[in-house]
Structure 1
Amino acid sequence: MRQLGEGGMGQVWEARDETLERPVAVKVISLLAGGGSRGDEARARFLREARITARLQHPNIVTVHDLGETGTGDSRVPFLVMELVRGEGLDAMLRRGAVTPPDAARWGAQICDALADAHDTGILHRDIKPSNLMITPSGIVKVLDFGVARAADPYATADRLTRTGSIMGTPPYMAPEQARGFPEARSDLYALGCLLFELITGRLPFHAPDTVGYLSAHLTQEPPAPSSISAGIPAAWDDLVLTLLRKDPDRRCWNAAGLAQALRRLDHAPAPAQHASTLLLTNPDIPVGPEPGEYLLATSAGGNGTLRLWDIATGRPVSQPLTGHTGTVFRMAFSPDGRLLASGSMDATVRLWDTATGEPAGEPLTGHTNIVEDVAFSPDGRLLASASVDTTVQLWDPVTGRPVGEPLTGHTNTVVGVAFSPDGRLLASGGMDATVRLWDSATGRPVGEPLTGHGGHVLRLAFSPDGRLLATSSRDWTARLWDTATGRPVGKPLSGHTNTVWDVAFSPDGSLLATNSEDGTVLLWDIAAGRLVGQPLNAPANGDVSAIRSLDGPLLAFSIGEDGTVRLWDPATGLPFGQPLTTRASRPLGVALSPRIRDRTWS
């Protein structure tokens, strides 16, 4: 036998399986693990690693062949028989300097493939770092050492093998939530972000003299952009890595499978100059492969007021058609918990639907005297606002179905759009009188003077995630940004479309604004710079394209084909989201995306 390496948990030896006549790697507990109760704990941890690793069968994860113990009593030594992987560790490669971005993308995608398989099995690695990764001569990545891996299922870790006060993982690569003792799947992706940073720059995102210094940096310091460390790194790499290194795991954009796709796109990008425009990756928390039941899409079609609910992961309807309206439904909105769908119709009513059953939730909400153009829920779900051709906005209690206060009056023409601020304190409305108005949602009183500047009908509105900005779209072919505190315009009008701008939607981190137009495109705007980024997303032939944003999730674009097929896309990357919906309608007239629905059983 020949020793291949040694870590904190064990030694790895090259050996030969005499029964099957093949070379293998044998891992045994290191003598450094100690004796007595400490040795018992090390032995138990080692056996747990073996059982965890044996559950994983993936080409990018080292395969476990056998498990056993040698010796007797307190002298028992567990051993693990694994496939013998020949190649070079990433730690050895990094000692020679940075690697090329294509190699980093290719290897990173394979690591993601392995992590996706582990995460799907309920296992976190918790120690992604160069010394735990090997590259074979054929370029295959092998993820090694699940010695600190943990099953994500809390019941699977009831043995509490992690000692109180101990830090599991390697500090230079440790996610903030893992440092606090709460690792999750996105913690592995944070570690991968550190690794990718190191691969393309030759150094880590943070430097510190000791463990405490590293943990403090991960918790409090913002990492530099990779391009500021090493010249020639494309902007798309900055976007990807810095997104992975966000402190809040909810603001990291991918699951492992989605990140693998994004890295493969980087690997196959035709030229560095095109990375920033075609592979912008600043859209956080977008699972490229949604899980069944995770998101719903509502569609309206035709003049009979019929609605459908769809599971976008499968492309299938989840209920019978929702019927009751007697006129075309223009706009729909999901409640923040996804339990209700509100719809406004040409029949001058608002209806509420139970999304789990597809049944009406109470009686129609009546009071408007003309077409209902838009509906919006407050962030806490306690209020529903509706906008109407009758020039008013009405607030409703969605539980009782009764109006809340008197109609909000002030517009001199049709009110086309309404939107609540993220804290629910403000309600914004825009109309055919080319004005935007802000209202106190608690009192129904106007806040400040009307916002003027558009040269045409104001159609839709959206608040930025922090509530500081309001975006509006108009028939004057522009979108505008407004300061919600002062009511003043922010920057110049966003001019790039060649026809009516129908809708506006912010990315979850507020850095991007998506606009869609009668000209058949969705454009992305850098909010800070006030300029276009990337390439337009074009509508299919004889179809439409629009922007859409869930209440707590992704910014997406949807395209509607001439045959009524609806497809969802990430406009920043061009990647599809979920499956196409075959609506069989001549042209769906309305689409609404639910928030992420968690722990829900569908009827």
Structure 2
Amino acid sequence: MASKVQVQKAATLTGHRDSVYTLERSAEEHILFSAAGDGMVVAWNLREPENGELIARVSTSVYALRYLPQRNLLLIGQNQEGVRVIDLESKNILKSVALPKVAIFDIAHIPEVGKVFVAMGNGAVCVLDGESFELQTVVRKADQSARCLAFNSFTQELAVGYSDNVVRIFDGATMELKQELTLHTNSVFTLAYSPDGKLLLSGGRDAHLRVWEAEKGYTERGYLIAHMYTINHIAYSPGGRYFATCSMDKSIKVWDAQSFKLLKVIDKVRHASHGTSVNKLFWSAHQNQLVSCSDDRTISVWDINFGL
């Protein structure tokens, strides 16, 4: 099965001067944003990948970006400095939201409940109004970092992964704590609901990819030892038939979302992939390209052909 998946590097995007931590979509399938330890937020066009366009520059490293398609805004998580709201049309700063002076690991915008959630390095989840971006409330259920967020639009549940090894499930509207999933043995760095909302995938420092049945009270379906080291991110393909994981072990792996079979390993030896930790993935509907970013300061664009 694995041999049918063909992978080719389509482009390497360079220009960041520090580790590239995150990737985010835009209004158009062929344009994406990146942010890095150099404080630069850059837009890239997959049709002309040579030149990035500087969208914003902040004074701190950036781990989290979130695009708001309804208003063409980009939210930038400035570590220690809160959230900056950028109008992409004018590139002006619409607002700077002051938050606790800690790292910002993830931002989720949930139009269904009219809120923006911000995962903080002090264990807090800050809840902002989805229109005005005013801070509404701070929910703190752990002493260690809130690292990642995922929203299930079918159940209106917000899943939060923490560095105390727990995944906590909240009611997205009220932020009432509904459940705690405690099987990980180390920090939880990434969460993803399946496109149909039935499964929650979680991964992190223990290198285990765990699969939870969201519709059955989050009973665990099973787990895979997916990587040698930390799983940094999980991303579903546009159609939801596949998903990819990336790791501190420098590899990217492509999986069948139904059978959980490993279909392809993308690495330095076989594909001239990243030489250091792969931090985030973005699976674009533009020619089904998978985009990865790394501590090696580069962004790679992969053509993936499933040959089915």
Per the TM superposition, whether the score is higher than 0.5 is: yes
**Partner residue, 1:358:** 91
1:327 counterpart SS class: coil
User: Aligned residue for 2:24?
Assistant: none
1:491–1:530 Cα contact (<8 Å) kept = no
Counterpart of 1:439 (choices 137, 148, 170) is 170
Change (3 A) 1:492 1:423: closer
SS of aligned partner of 2:91? coil
Contact 1:508 1:555 survives alignment (8 Å) = no
TM alignment of 1:102-501, pairs within 5 A:
274-275=3-4, 277-278=5-6, 294-303=29-38, 305-315=39-49, 319-323=53-57, 325-337=58-70, 339-360=72-93, 362-378=94-110, 380=112, 382-404=114-136, 406-423=137-154, 425-447=156-178, 449-501=179-231
Name the SS for the 1:485 alignment partner: helix
SS in structure 1 of the partner of residue 153 of structure 2: coil
Structure 1 residues 571 and 481, CA gap change in structure 2 (3 angstroms): farther
Alpha-carbon separation, structure 2, partners of 1:520 and 1:385:
29
CA contact (8 A) 2:29 2:284 kept: no
Paired amino acid for 1:426: E
Match of 2:14 in 1: none
Contact 1:559 1:568 in 2 (8 A): no
Higher relative contact order (CA 8 A, sep 6+): 2
- Amino acid of the structure 2 residue aligned with 1:328: S
Structure 1 residues 364 and 393, CA gap change in structure 2 (3 angstroms): same
Match of residue 174 from structure 1: none
Kindly indicate whether the alpha-carbon contact (under 8 Å) linking 1:508 and 1:552 is maintained by their aligned counterparts in 2.
no
Inter-partner Cα distance in structure 2 for 1:381 and 1:297? 25
Q: Distance in 2 between matches of 1:357 and 1:486?
A: 46
The aligned residue for residue 15 of structure 2 is none
Q: What is the 5 A alignment of 1:30-69?
A: none
* Aligned counterparts of 1:488 and 1:315: Cα–Cα separation in 2: 41
Does residue 529 of the first structure (1) align with residue 259 of the second (2)?
Answer: yes
SS at structure 1 position matched to 2:221? coil
TM-score, with length taken from structure 2: 0.80
Letter of the structure 2 residue corresponding to residue 511 of structure 1: R
Q: Which runs of 5+ in 1 are unaligned?
A: 1-234, 236-272, 280-291, 575-603
Is this contact kept in 1: 2:80–2:101, CA < 8 A? no
Superposed displacement of residue 528, structure 1: 2.7
Which whole-Å deviations, capped at 9, do the CAs of 1:201-260 have from their partners, x for residues lacking one?
A: xxxxxxxxxxxxxxxxxxxxxxxxxxxxxxxxxx7xxxxxxxxxxxxxxxxxxxxxxxxx
> 1:44-100, CA deviations, whole angstroms, 9 ceiling, x for partnerless residues?
xxxxxxxxxxxxxxxxxxxxxxxxxxxxxxxxxxxxxxxxxxxxxxxxxxxxxxxxx
Measure, in 2, the Cα distance between the counterparts of 1:415 and 1:364: 21
Distance 1:484 1:499, change over 3 A: same
RMSD over equivalenced CA pairs, Å: 3.0
User: How far 1:571 moved relative to its partner?
Assistant: 4.3
| Gap regions ≥5 residues in structure 2 | 8-26
The question of whether the paired residues in 1 share the 8 Å contact of 2:113 and 2:172 is answered with no
State whether residues 431 and 457 of structure 1, in contact with CA within 8 Å, keep that contact through their aligned partners in structure 2.
yes
User: Is 1:538 the counterpart of 2:259 in the alignment?
Assistant: no
Please, what TM-score do these two structures have when normalized by structure 1?
0.43
Instruction: Tell me how far apart the structure 2 counterparts of residues 559 and 444 of structure 1 sit (CA, whole Å).
Output: 32
- Aligned residue pairs total 283
Q: Give secondary structure in 1 for the equivalent of 2:3.
A: helix
In terms of fraction of residues, the more strand-rich structure is 2
Query: Is the Cα–Cα contact under 8 Å of residues 64 and 105 in structure 2 kept in the other structure?
Result: yes
1:541-570 deviations in whole A, cap 9, x for unaligned? 5355442245999572325594x4422114
| Cα separation, 2, equivalents of 1:482 and 1:570 | 30
Q: CA deviation at 1:322?
A: 0.5
CA deviations on 1:448-499 (whole Å, 9 max, x unpaired) are x201101110001111111111111110011111112334344321213111
With over 3 angstroms needed to count, the CA separation of the structure-2 counterparts of 1:541 and 1:375, relative to structure 1, is closer
CA distance in 2 between partners of 1:554 and 1:381 (Å): 30
Partner of 1:517: 247
Partners of 1:422 and 1:507 lie apart in 2 by 18
- Asked if the contact 2:35–2:41 (Cα under 8 Å) also holds between the matched residues in 1, the reply is yes
1:379–1:461: structure 2 CA closer, same or farther, 3 Å change rule? farther
- Cα 1:547–1:487 change in 2 (3 A) is farther
How many Å separate the matches in 2 of 1:483 and 1:383? Answer: 25
**Structure with greater proportional helix content:** 1
Q: Distance in 2 between matches of 1:504 and 1:429?
A: 14
Q: Deviations 1:311-355 (Å, cap 9, x if unpaired)?
A: 2222265754402x3311111121244712112122240112122
What is the distance in 2 between the residues matched to 1:561 and 1:446? 35
| Equivalent residues of 2:165, 2:188 under 8 A apart | yes
